[in-house]
C-alpha cells in the first residue's frame, strides 16, 4: 500500500469548521453549565462526602475528563441529528465514538488514522454498522478529540472558584 492515499489525512482531522457550524451558541452555553453541574456533583459524591479533599491535579483531571465527555456528547449529538438516527442505532454509533475517543486520548497524532481505520473495520463487522455512518462518526470524533487536545476546545486555565466549589457552599 505504499504510495496509496490515506483514508484519514491529518488535514481532515484538524479541520473543525464543518462540525463547529452544527452547534449553536445556546448549546455551548448549556454544555458549560452541564460541565459545572457534573463536576460539582461528582466531586461531592466521590470525595467531599467521604471527607477526602482531592489535590489540585485530581480536581483538574476530573474537570477535564467531564469537559471532554460533555463536549463530545454535544457535538456528536448535533452530528448524528443530521443523519436522523434514533434509538439503538444512535446508541451504537455513540458507543463507537466513546471507544475511539478513549483510544485517541492516549495516542500520538500520527497514529490516529490507523486507529480510526481499525475501529471502523472492527465495529462495522461486529455491530453491523453502516460503514459510511461509522466513517462519519469516526472522523467527527477525531475532529472533536483534536480540538479538545490542541485547538479551540482546549480547557482554559481554571479559576479557584471553579475547582473549589465547596468553598462557596455550592455543593
Name the residue among 136, 133, 99 with its Cα closest to residue 115.
Answer: 99
Is 156 within a domain? yes
Residue 127, C-alpha cell as written in the block? 455491530
d(CA 22, CA 78): 6
Structural domain total, the chain: 1
Is 89 within a domain? yes
Q: Which residue has the cell 481554571?
A: 158
Is 79 within a domain? yes
Name the residue among 100, 77, 90 with its Cα closest to residue 146.
Answer: 100
Is 118 within a domain? yes
d(CA 141, CA 153): 13
pLDDT digits (tens, 9 = 90+) for 120-152: 999 999 999 999 999 999 999 999 999 999 988
* Alpha-carbon torsion (101, 102, 105, 109), positive or negative: negative
d(CA 168, CA 171): 8
Radius of gyration of the chain (CA): 18
Is 1 within a domain? no
Is 2 within a domain? no
Domain that holds residue 144: 10-167
pLDDT digits (tens, 9 = 90+) for 4-39: 455 667 777 888 888 888 899 999 999 999 999 999
Is 24 within a domain? yes
d(CA 35, CA 158): 13
d(CA 47, CA 163): 13
- Contact between 66 and 38 (Cβ < 8 Å): yes
pLDDT of residue 46: 92
Report if pTM > 0.85. yes
Is 133 within a domain? yes
Q: How confident is the model at residue 161 (pLDDT cuts 50, 70, 90)?
A: confident
d(CA 124, CA 127): 6
Amino acid at each position: 500500500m505504499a504510495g496509496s492515499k490515506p483514508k484519514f489525512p491529518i488535514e481532515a482531522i484538524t479541520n473543525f469548521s464543518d462540525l463547529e457550524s452544527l452547534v449553536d451558541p445556546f448549546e455551548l452555553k448549556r454544555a458549560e453549565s452541564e460541565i459545572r453541574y457534573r463536576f460539582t456533583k461528582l466531586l461531592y459524591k466521590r470525595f467531599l462526602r467521604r471527607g477526602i479533599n482531592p489535590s489540585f491535579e485530581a480536581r483538574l483531571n476530573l474537570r477535564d475528563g467531564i469537559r471532554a465527555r460533555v463536549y463530545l456528547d454535544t457535538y456528536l449529538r448535533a452530528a448524528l441529528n443530521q443523519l436522523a438516527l434514533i434509538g439503538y442505532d444512535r446508541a451504537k454509533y455513540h458507543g463507537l465514538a466513546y471507544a475511539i475517543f478513549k483510544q485517541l486520548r492516549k495516542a500520538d497524532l500520527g497514529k490516529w488514522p490507523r486507529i480510526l481505520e481499525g475501529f471502523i473495520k472492527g465495529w462495522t463487522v461486529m455491530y453491523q454498522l453502516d460503514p459510511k455512518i461509522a466513517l462519519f462518526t469516526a472522523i467527527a470524533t477525531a475532529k472533536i478529540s483534536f480540538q479538545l487536545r490542541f485547538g479551540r476546545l482546549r480547557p482554559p486555565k481554571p479559576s479557584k472558584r471553579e475547582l473549589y466549589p465547596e468553598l462557596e457552599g455550592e455543593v
